[in-house]
Amino acid sequence: MPTRDEILSANERYASAFEKGGLPREPARRFAVVTCMDARLDPARFLGLEEGDAHVIRNAGGVVSDEVLRALAVSHEQLGTQEALVIGHRDCAVIADAVEHVRAGVDTIRSTPLLPDSFTATGFVYDVETGRIEPV
């Protein structure tokens, strides 16, 4: 079966039982996650998130770029998030030292003028072998 057909079939099953159309735009848990696009990471699963709980921002390496900072600013100013979780991972194709990378991302968020001092950032590293996150 072609990918397109598989995806449409899976979506039909999902939509047929969908009951969350009334969720507000604001994330219920008032935080955002910045992480890598690596297919081995499913932040909703390893963080225990449901639809509507948090904003999830993904890119290659989970880099806290200017674009990510703008997204966090909108998330905070327009939708009430108060915190960001920066989650790197072991065995990343584009990041050699996950711990230092996460520290740098957290520092970037904490120092940006786009977010108030009250906006917090915390870092973690996800282990692709165990599924566990470790605080940085």
- Superfamily (CATH) of domain 27-135: Carbonic anhydrase (3.40.1050.10)
Render pLDDT for 26-73 as a digit per residue (tens, 0 to 9): 999 999 999 999 999 999 999 999 999 999 999 999 999 999 999 999
What is the per-residue DSSP string for the chain? --HHHHHHHHHHHHHHT---TT--SS-TT-EEEEEE--TT--HHHHHT--TTSEEEEEEGGG---HHHHHHHHHHHHHH---EEEEEEETT-SS-S-HHHHHHHHHHHHHH-TTS-TT-EEEEEEE-TTT--EEE-
The domain locations on the chain are 27-135
pLDDT of residue 1: 78
pTM for this entry: 0.95
95, β-bridge pairs = none
What b/e sequence results for 75-85 when a residue is b if at least 16 CB atoms lie within 10 Å of its CB, and e otherwise? Answer: bbeeeebbbbb
